[in-house]
Chains A and B, each alone.
Chain A
């Protein structure tokens, strides 16, 4: 007769969390910071086609670290979710908050029910009419959601990056200053030359689709 083995819930969650964290720690960080006319998202990325940052909706952007196939499938699901909602209701009804909740719920379910948790961390940014209405949400591998103000980072060296950027000039800086500060923070935290950048902005320019990729 086989003896059913027992693992305490605490141990189960701990093991899974440790597994996910290890995967994420290997991923290069991504930072998002507000500037006078929008939100800048900067990632270290050597590929010019496999993006970590993407457009979800008119004023909502997405960034993911960790396993590419996992956060890419979540990004696609996010676009589907947003387009469905915007089509069935109105374009203004698509918000980063509801998306972050959906991502959180998905990651939470995968974390507890699937064989392997997703090794990803996500960043959802929403551009407001004024800087005070900008929203930044972080979603962790277990579905935990956190809201950040003006500055958010995900990935391996997220905390160090955030600390390095705390002292940078305030949210009324220009895009160039924000980009400069973010690149400097990356260089100081990583302690090496960064091989390639991927950068995008959500721009307050009156256009419907605020997302735009930029050269970094």
Chain B
């Protein structure tokens, strides 16, 4: 660690990642060998409603054809007013989220104001872009970003691609191996007047469908009591829906499922 702060005093690096590089803890170089491509075995999705956004992620991590973890977390609080969900290589993705969270808080403390939602979304795009060399070797990370934009008073939604392209979505989005199935359910069910409860039910319906269609996605597991992670971001900020409420939601959706 640095003990004399003089190297940290002054204009210095602009952001936290630059700071990490300066002290020699930047991302490691890659071995120059082709790696086995890993797929984005997961389903994460988000639904925009009249005053906010619902984000849902399943809990399963796979290793090839076997289940690696049953309770992994794929949706995180980026800060108090934004959520980030991840698909792709778990280790790389969770580390990216940790760095993203630190970066947002670092900016807020240094500048005294929070980064705008637009700013956060662009920053995440740059992080994915910087990841490209690793992505070329198969260590893909594709996030999904949702937050409450305090300047306009509504929820906003961003999807990304593997090269860091950032696309704002006005209704719904989904990503991961179950994303295609989830998207078709979301698109069919979404209406502009959808409210919070409607968005929660639609999101759960999409996840249940994805879980039935995609082997790498686990729907609500009522037997083990493992529920998808359901997050609401609105004017009150980021909050996770408690498991007991998700169980009720999941049971209702499963009852109506064919």
B257 within 8 A of A: no
B9, B16, B109 — most chain A CB neighbours (10 Å): B109
List chain B residues, Cβ under 8 A from A38.
Answer: none
What class of interface size applies to chain B in its complex with A? Answer: 20 to 34
Residue A54 at the chain B interface, CB threshold 8 Å: yes
A85 touches B12 (CB 8 A): no
Known contacts A56-B109, A79-B110, A84-B1: does B6 contact A109 (CB below 8 Å)? yes
Contacts known (A79-B109, A83-B105, A83-B106); A73 close to B9, Cβ less than 8 A:
yes
A-B contacts counted at CB < 8 A amount to: 69
B2 near A84: Cβ-Cβ < 8 Å: yes
Check if B20 is an interface residue, CB within 8 A of chain A. Answer: yes
Q: Which B70-107 residues have a C-beta within 8 angstroms of A? A: 98-99, 102, 105-106
The verdict on A80 contacting B12 (CB below 8 Å), with A88-B25, A106-B5 known, is yes
Mark contacts of A31-70 with chain B using CB atoms, 8 A cut-off: 1 yes-contact digit, 0 otherwise: 0000000000000000001010011100000000000000
Contacts of B102 in A (CB 8 A): 83, 86-87
B 1-32 to A, binary, CB cutoff 8 A, 1 in contact else 0: 11111101110100010011001010000000
Considering only residues 189-221 of chain B, those with a C-beta below 8 Å from chain A are: none
Q: Does B112 contact A (CB under 8 A)?
A: yes
Q: Quick check: is A97 within 8 A (CB to CB) of the other chain?
A: no
Asked whether, in the complex, the Cβ of B112 is within 8 Å of the Cβ of A77, the reply is no
A74 to B9, CA, bound (A): 6
Q: Is the contact region of chain A dominated by helix, strand, or loop, or is it mixed?
A: helix
Contacting pair B19 A103 (CB below 8 A) = no
Most buried by B among A51, A54, A76, A101: A76
Does A160 interact with chain B (Cβ within 8 Å)? Answer: no
Q: How far is the CA of A76 from the CA of B11 in the complex (A)?
A: 10
Q: Is B6 in contact with A106, judged by CB distance below 8 angstroms?
A: yes
The chain A residue with its CB closest to the CB of B79 is A209
Q: Which residue of A lies closest to B16 (CB)?
A: A83
Docked-complex contact B110 and A110, CB < 8 angstroms: no
Which chain B residues (146-169) contact chain A, with CB distance < 8 Å?
none
Interchain CA distance A110-B6 in the complex, whole Å = 9
Separation in Å of the B1 CB from the closest CB of chain A?
6
Residues in B with CB closer than 8 Å to A84 are 1-2, 19-20, 23, 25
Q: Are A51 and B112 in contact (CB under 8 A)?
A: yes
In the complex, what residues of B have CB within 8 A of residue A83's CB?
16, 19, 102, 105-106, 109
Interface residues on A, range: 20 to 34
Cβ of B235 to closest chain A Cβ, rounded Å: 18
- A28 — which chain B residues lie within 8 A by C-beta? none
| Chain A residue contacts of B4, Cβ below 8 A | 102, 105-106, 109
Question: A70 to nearest B CB, angstroms?
Answer: 9
Contacts of B105 in A (CB 8 A): 83
Contacts of B16 in A (CB 8 A): 83, 87
Contact A77 B9 (CB under 8 A): yes
- Residues in chain B near residue A85, CB distance under 8 A: 1
Given contacts A55-B109, A56-B109, A88-B25, contact A80 B6 (CB under 8 A): no
User: B109 to A54, Cβ gap below 8 A?
Assistant: yes
Q: Which B residues lie within 8 Å of A78 (CB)?
A: 5
A36 to chain B minimum Cβ distance, whole angstroms, is: 25
Give 28 pairs: A residue, B residue, CB < 8 Å, sorted on A. Answer: A49-B112, A55-B109, A73-B10, A74-B5, A77-B5, A77-B6, A79-B106, A79-B109, A79-B110, A80-B8, A80-B12, A81-B2, A81-B8, A83-B109, A84-B2, A84-B19, A84-B20, A84-B25, A86-B102, A87-B16, A87-B98, A88-B1, A88-B25, A102-B4, A103-B5, A105-B4, A106-B9, A110-B6
A residues at B contact (CB < 8 Å): 49, 51, 54-56, 73-74, 76-81, 83-88, 101-103, 105-106, 109-110
Given contacts A87-B102, A102-B4, A105-B5, 4 further A-B contacts (CB under 8 A): A73-B10, A83-B102, A87-B20, A87-B98
